[in-house]
Amino acid sequence: MYQSGEKLAAATNLILHRTGQKEIQEGITVIVKGEGVWVYDQDGTQYLDMDSGVTRPVHAGYGREELARAAYDQMCQLAYFTPMQFANVPAIKLSEKLAQIAPGEINNFTFECDGSEAVETAMKLARHYHYYRGDKARFKIISRRGAYHGVNGIGIRALGTVMPMRQMMEPLTPGSVFIESPYCYRCPCNLKYPECEIACARDLSRIIEFEGPEYISVFIGEPIQQGFGAFKPPKEYWQIIREICDKYGILLIMDEVICGFGRTGKMFATEHFNIQPDLITMAKGITSGYVPLGAVGCTGKVLEPIDIFNHLHTYGNHPVPCAVGLENIDIIIREKLVENSAEMGKYFLEALKPLEQHPSVGEVRGTGLWLAVDFTMDKKTRAPYPVANLLNMVARAKQKGAIIKMMGMALEFAPPLIIKKEEIDLAVKVIEQCITEEE
Ligand code: PLP
């Protein structure tokens, strides 16, 4: 086992994701074990994982033998078979299970390796739908500033606005068009809810008319958006987007990759808004991160005109992650983790709210177990807050034994859905200390 970070930096052949040379030289922490909401490094130091693996899939917590057993049993039974012209039992059962729990008429599913592939596949399904209906010119995709929809291929990169990950790949595939995000704390339209009349959603009509409705295939958005720090749009937002999409024959994809499987206190965050999407993308919490899996669900309306789905991915509908996904969803339902997310999320939010008294804290918000503390240099003007200060707080939290993440000008928290009050209390203490020390 590696004994020190410095040794690791010199010895490893591993390429890390989004990690600068300076951090690598300073030494990288190697996580060797996880249990419940805790992870342990190579020196035995324990960390309270307030971000479920930092990219937040670990809904059921670490060390679940049931999930390991599901993978083992399935590997012994049937480790792999092609998704073309053959089916397998776990994929069939998982599609049945998802049809029971997914919003409304989302009844048809296909499985990929991760969220990025799920998004790419959803876009392809949408193109197939239009193609078979004779609408062959519909290739453009509308998404939102601040969106993140994954890494696969340049096509998906074109949908995101995480600039360092985007700029190096310019020029991107044509066809991505953006509208503003419903980020009310720093409204991109400089308006205030409710007088704004949800201008950020209504602007979709203008963009569609400008781009040409006959060229637009889909609108994609996360029901609750990550960029700028988890924020829930006003209650009318998705209804307006849905109506505009319907008016122009555009399909609506809800990207539930982060939100799905209880993260926001509902099985799917779409349920907060009472609308019917045409397609849904899922990943992360579908297997609690134990094995990679992404899924796309669509309604009968989308599938009906499609003669053949021209898509073949070696690991599509893979039986092993599907078996783990089935067991994981059983755990989520059996242990009432969606309910726990709603209840503990409320407790966490109430515990964080007093932080708004600090001079640099602009807004504390959250839905279920996905919360954010948004910072500002000036509460009146909501002036930007330096990224360096946020990075300091993230580093300090780690020294104090809690792993947290920054997003936009906010600190974000998305712990495993099994978290208890005592663990939340510990986290709040660390967060408050980090803020106080930064002031
Ligand atoms: N969509 C959303 C909303 C995401 O947050 C992410 C990843 O964070 C993705 C898609 C891509 O998922 P993955 O990293 O599993 O490819």
> What is the atom index within ligand 1 of the atom nearest the CA of 259?
3
Q: Indicate which residue's Cα is closest to atom 10 of ligand 1.
A: 149
Q: pLDDT by residue (tens digit) across 398-430?
A: 999 999 999 999 999 999 999 999 999 999 999
Q: pLDDT by residue (tens digit) across 141-194?
A: 999 999 999 887 655 556 666 666 555 555 556 588 999 999 999 999 999 999
Q: Band the pLDDT of 139: cuts 50, 70, 90.
A: confident
CA distances from 10 to 20, 25, 63, 332 (A): 14, 8, 30, 41
Considering the domain architecture, whether residues 70 and 16 belong to the same structural domain is answered as no
Q: What is the mean pLDDT of the chain?
A: 93
Residue 60: closest CA among 322, 372, 415: 415
> What is the atom index within ligand 1 of the atom nearest the CA of 258?
5
Considering the domain architecture, whether residues 306 and 411 belong to the same structural domain is answered as no
Cβ–Cβ < 8 Å for 364, 371: yes
Considering the domain architecture, whether residues 83 and 169 belong to the same structural domain is answered as yes
Q: Which domain holds residue 370?
A: 5-60+336-438
CA of 371 to the centre of ligand 1 (A): 18
Averaged pLDDT for residues 10-30: 82
Residue after which a domain boundary falls, among 334, 367, 383 = 334
Considering the domain architecture, whether residues 241 and 369 belong to the same structural domain is answered as no
CA of 148 to the centre of ligand 1 (A): 7
Q: Band the pLDDT of 332: cuts 50, 70, 90.
A: very high
Strands (E), 166-215: 176-179
> What is the atom index within ligand 1 of the atom nearest the CA of 147?
3
CA of 116 to the centre of ligand 1 (A): 6
Considering the domain architecture, whether residues 98 and 193 belong to the same structural domain is answered as yes
> From the CB of 147, is ligand 1 less than 6 Å away?
no
CATH code of the domain in which 206 resides: 3.40.640.10
- The model's pTM: 0.94
> From the CB of 120, is ligand 1 less than 6 Å away?
no
Considering the domain architecture, whether residues 153 and 82 belong to the same structural domain is answered as yes
CA distances from 61 to 24, 51, 155, 415 (A): 28, 11, 33, 9
Cβ–Cβ < 8 Å for 241, 276: no
Considering the domain architecture, whether residues 389 and 325 belong to the same structural domain is answered as no
- List, in sequence order, every residue forming a beta bridge with 363; answer none if it has no partner: 374
Considering the domain architecture, whether residues 200 and 122 belong to the same structural domain is answered as yes
Distance CA 280, CA 118 (A): 9
Residue after which a domain boundary falls, among 334, 368, 385 = 334
> From the CB of 258, is ligand 1 less than 6 Å away?
yes
> From the CB of 149, is ligand 1 less than 6 Å away?
yes
Q: Which of 117-131, 143-157, 347-361 has the lowest mean pLDDT?
A: 143-157
Considering the domain architecture, whether residues 225 and 141 belong to the same structural domain is answered as yes
Structural domain count of the chain:
2
- List, in sequence order, every residue forming a beta bridge with 143; answer none if it has no partner: 178
CA of 258 to the centre of ligand 1 (A): 7
Q: Is 436 exposed, middle or buried (0-12, 13-18, 19+ CB in 10 A)?
A: exposed
End-to-end CA distance of the chain: 39
Distance CA 394, CA 172 (A): 32
Considering the domain architecture, whether residues 78 and 91 belong to the same structural domain is answered as yes
Q: Indicate which residue's Cα is closest to atom 5 of ligand 1.
A: 258
Distance CA 251, CA 273 (A): 17
Averaged pLDDT for residues 253-270: 98
Q: pLDDT by residue (tens digit) across 366-393?
A: 999 999 999 999 999 999 999 999 999 9
CA of 288 to the centre of ligand 1 (A): 14
> From the CB of 256, is ligand 1 less than 6 Å away?
no
Residue 182: closest CA among 140, 122, 240: 240
Considering the domain architecture, whether residues 214 and 183 belong to the same structural domain is answered as yes
Please report the pLDDT score of residue 54 as a whole number: 86
ipTM score over 0.95, yes or no: yes
Residue after which a domain boundary falls, among 334, 364, 388 = 334
CA of 257 to the centre of ligand 1 (A): 6
Q: Best substitution site from 228, 258, 313 to test ligand 1's pocket, by max atoms within 8 Å of Cβ?
A: 258
Written as six digits, the tokens of 149 are 């929809």
CATH code of the domain in which 35 resides: 3.90.1150.10
> What is the atom index within ligand 1 of the atom nearest the CA of 152?
16
Considering the domain architecture, whether residues 100 and 136 belong to the same structural domain is answered as yes
Please report the pLDDT score of residue 152 as a whole number: 73
